[in-house]
Amino acid sequence: MSTTSLTAVPFNRTHVCDNELGYLTEAVRQGFTCGDGPFTRRATELLRELTGAGHALLTTSCTHALEMSAILLDLRPGDEVIMPSFTFVSTANAYALRGAVPVFVDCRPDTLNIDERLIEAAITGRTRAVVVVHYAGVACEMDAVQALADRYGLAVVEDNAHGLGGFYRNRPLGSFGCMAAQSFHATKNVQCGEGGALLLQDAALAARAEIIREKGTDRSRFYRGQVDKYQWIDIGSSYLPSDVLAAMLTAQLESFGSIQARRHTVWQAYHEGLSEWAGDNGVAQPVVPEDRRHPAHLYYLLLPDLHHRQAFLAHLAAAGVQAAFHYQPLHHAVAGLRYGRTAPGGCPVTEHVADRLVRLPLFAGLDDAGVTRVIEAVRGYRVDR
Ligand SMILES: Cc1ncc(COP(=O)(O)O)c(C=O)c1O
């Protein structure tokens, strides 16, 4: 019997891969449960292969990887970091923690990514970096962003929480910025409950990042026998995950192909199965420009307005389908107003999108019956116009 025929279709269910429990047992039995053990090395190598990153460091979360990027940028209080308002709090928090000012830029109405045409007007003498977020794993306009960053001497950081497996013009996401932050939170395509990674291209930056991840010490070098004692070298914190979590992540990364294949099947079924309904009801579906490949991280619909979004969520819940909205705009959030600044022109598109967006269930374990149930439930809603 289908797993989703009787109960509600959950919004997300964490996916367990073939080797996961075996690797977890091995990790516990090997007697090496702290970080930087054999599974950390295996997961790191797999991640480098997937992203083409020169250097990869597993971290305890994407949030922490972003915090590390803020330390590595040597931000000073009052420095400004440009980013979208339509993102998760961690994107801004990481830089606000260093005393920097997040500068919120509006998003594009098609991909919902930072609108690269609005970045230049947000640049001041204090601007140090641009942080891009590839929403739903659909790449930002990286050529334009990089050209602007080069012109003004700014660092580019990718918040690639959604984008593992995505491409921009045949180049993997995570390989564009001087740094990229990955998430392996339970809601992501590849997950270990809580986890992340910092990807870097530059060897010297990566060497410093390793110290920052180990409480500001050169303990990693000591373990490799490169120094005879380890000491406090830099500021840092405890950003290194346990090898037990790395064991789970290794199993997930090894199953990346099958996880992605199923997620793409579900994504495509929604996209095709809902296109007529969307057209009839004035609902927008995700836009993926031709020069990009997305990793089927999430599937969303944009209802005409807040009233319909709320009614649609209630309709889906009554039909046994758990759906969710996404991102409260940061430029209006309590901390956004306190620590950030909004770029000229405000963020009207972000506000409009945040009112209208609904995410449908999407996970590798969602079976065909579940997908059909979601599609039928969605089609049962009519937008009165
Ligand atoms: C864009 C973005 N950045 C950062 C994060 C934080 O990730 P983590 O939970 O791994 O810290 C999230 C979480 O979903 C996110 O959506």
342 found inside a domain: yes
The half-sphere exposure of 138 on its side-chain side, counting CA atoms within 13 A, is 17
235 CA distance to ligand 1 centroid (A)?
Answer: 23
Whole-angstrom distance, CA of residue 87 vs CA of residue 78: 21
Closest-lying ligand 1 atom to the alpha carbon of residue 135: 1
Site to substitute for ligand 1 among 60, 81, 90, most atoms within 8 A of C-beta: 90
Share of the chain above pLDDT 70, in %: 98
Domain with 185 in it: 20-254
Phi/psi for 278 (5° steps) reads -65, -45
Locate the ligand 1 atom nearest the alpha carbon of residue 65 and give its number. Answer: 11
Res 5: pLDDT? 52
pTM of the model: 0.96
Residue 267 and residue 248 share a domain? no
Q: Which of 198, 219, 254 is the last residue of a domain?
A: 254
Q: Please give the structure tokens belonging to residue 98.
A: 């260093």
Choosing from 235, 254, 273, the residue where a domain stops is 254
Write the pLDDT tens digit of every residue in 221-255.
Answer: 999 999 999 999 999 999 999 999 999 999 999 99
How large is the average pLDDT for residues 157-166?
98
CATH number of the domain to which 375 belongs: 3.90.1150.10
Which atom of ligand 1 lies closest to the CA of 187? 14
- Which residues approach ligand 1 with their CB closer than 6 A? 61-63, 87-88, 90-91, 133, 159, 161, 183, 185, 196
The residue count for the chain: 385
Give the Cα separation of 180 and 177 in Å (integer): 6
Phi, psi (rounded to 5 degrees) for 69: -65, -35
| 47 has pLDDT over 50 | yes
Give the residue ranges of DSSP H helices in 30-110.
Answer: 38-51, 62-72, 89-96
The CATH code of the domain that includes 90 is: 3.40.640.10
pLDDT for the residue numbered 335: 98
Q: Mean of the pLDDT values across residues 162-179? A: 97
Average pLDDT, the chain: 96
44/163 same-domain check? yes
The confidence score (pLDDT) of residue 1 equals: 42
Q: So what's the pLDDT on residue 6?
A: 62
